[in-house]
Amino acid sequence: MIDDPDNQIKEWPALSAVKFICVAMLIFVHSHMALITESSIIMNPFGFYYKVTKGLMFLGLFLVILPAVAGAVLRIDLDKDFIQGKLRKDYDFNQIIKTAVFLILVGFLMNMIAFGGAYTFSWNVLQLVGLSFVVIVFLLKKFPINTVFWLGLIALFIGGPLSHLLGSWNYTYLAGVFTGINNSLIVWPFFPWFGVVALGFLIAHCYLKYKDSAKFRISLLAIGLGLLLVAILRGEISPYLDPNYVWGPSIVDPKIGWVLASIGFFCLLVAVANTFLNKRRFSKYGIINSYSKGILWIYVIQMFASEKLSLIVKRFFPMNGPSTAYFILPITLLLLCWLIGALCIKFLQGKSIVIKLRKFQ
């Protein structure tokens, strides 16, 4: 039995709101990039859409907080297995292994369908999340929870030195999974992005421990603004937009300021959402609840849909300049993903995905 972790999450309205914002912007950014590119190359590097995209690259923060969201979801989901702030010793480690394998396989299937067979084994965010979940739970079974913090902190800074030590080994797939260096198939390397997953996990842990106190919200707000300020002062609040490959090294091998900005932005969003929305209850099939509960399947399906539907839009509406036709794809995907989320609630909420293996005779 492999459980979809998002279907087990306890109610945390602030996190639901953050997930909604994150997914809505994810849909918009992916559809935008699909419309202005051909095979990830910007069709007109001197045109209107390139200039606009270059100036708004900081909006990518809504995408790179996905690992932090996943880490928070894991902590909420594990709460029933925590006793006095520690993971119970008899927790079945196989549960998280199955969840991780499920996420990784779904990610590989998504790659194949959306981008073609050559990209099947691209290491995307679902693979990163699956591996990070295993590492976090392994640490919790052996060590105190502050170990997750320290490994997360180390992960933020160790990528560069590790890639230097590995030398020519950086060209291998396994090394790329950790460093992301010199491997075009690795989009979300373990270092530094595990640090973002771990800190999302710890933020949710603090929420559960301190019961959404004013001190919790103020601390998050201060940390968030501080980290964003560091990124701004370093000139790394947004990555470089490469017109020849929009998902290039500036995304795969990010500057530390960009990673710190993603953590700070998540802290800021959670603090604001906790202040204004944590007493709200969202309607069962409303867009916020649907996006939140269906985030996994929305992510997978919109990756495929944005690529394929963009070809149809570009065929009938040239993307040479500002046009109302530009909004056809984002609006269509926003509505489609609302439907996907609502269907997830109706048919998958509280249920498990069961995989049975039968011996072949």
DSSP assignment letter at 182: T
Half-sphere exposure of 139 (CA within 13 A, CB side): 17
How many Cβ atoms sit within 10 Å of the Cβ of residue 330? 19
Asked if the structure places residue 361 within a domain, the reply is no
Task: Tell me the residue type at 341.
Answer: G
- Measured distance CA(132)–CA(35) in Å, rounded: 32
Q: Residues in the chain, how many?
A: 361
Would you say residue 353 lies in a domain? no
DSSP-derived 3-state class of residue 2: strand
Q: Hey, what are 225's tokens? A: 């603004």
Q: Are 352 and 99 in contact (CB under 8 A)?
A: no
According to the model, what pLDDT value does residue 17 have?
94
Full residue range of the structural domain in which residue 107 is found: 5-348
- Predicted local distance difference test score (pLDDT) of residue 260: 95
Q: Are 316 and 285 in contact (CB under 8 A)?
A: no
Residues 353, 2: contact at Cβ < 8 Å? Answer: yes
Cα separation, 156 vs 257, in Å, equals 10
Domain for residue 17, yes or no? Answer: yes
In a domain, 260, yes or no: yes
Q: Assess if residue 228 is contained within a domain.
A: yes
Q: Does residue 33 lie within any of the structural domains?
A: yes
* Domain contains 356: no
**What are the distances in angstroms from CA 299 to CA 107, 125, 220, 311, 338?**
10, 10, 27, 19, 12
Residue 162 lies in a domain: yes
**Helix (H), strand (E) at residue 82:** strand 82-83
10-residue averages of pLDDT along the chain (361 residues) = 40 91 94 90 89 92 95 95 86 95 97 90 95 97 93 92 79 87 81 96 93 89 97 92 81 84 96 88 92 95 92 85 86 96 87 49 48
Strands 41-42 and 82-83: unpaired
Cβ–Cβ < 8 Å for 71, 198 = yes
DSSP string, 5-68: GGGGPPP-HHHHHHHHHHHHHHHHHHHHHHHHEETTEES-TTSHHHHHHHHTGGGGHHHHTHHH
- Predicted confidence at residue 321, as pLDDT, reads 76
CA atoms of 144 and 348, how far apart (whole Å)? 34
pTM: 0.90
Contact status, residue 196 vs residue 68, Cβ threshold 8 Å: yes
Q: 26, 302 in Cβ contact below 8 A? A: yes
As for how many domains the chain has, the answer is 1
Buried b (16+ CB within 10 A) or exposed e, 309-326: bbeebbeeeebeeeeeeb
* Bond before 192 cis per omega within 30 degrees: yes
**In this predicted structure, what is the pLDDT of residue 9?**
40
Q: What is the pLDDT of residue 254?
A: 81
Burial class of residue 185 (count of CB atoms within 10 Å of its CB; 0-12, 13-18, 19+): middle
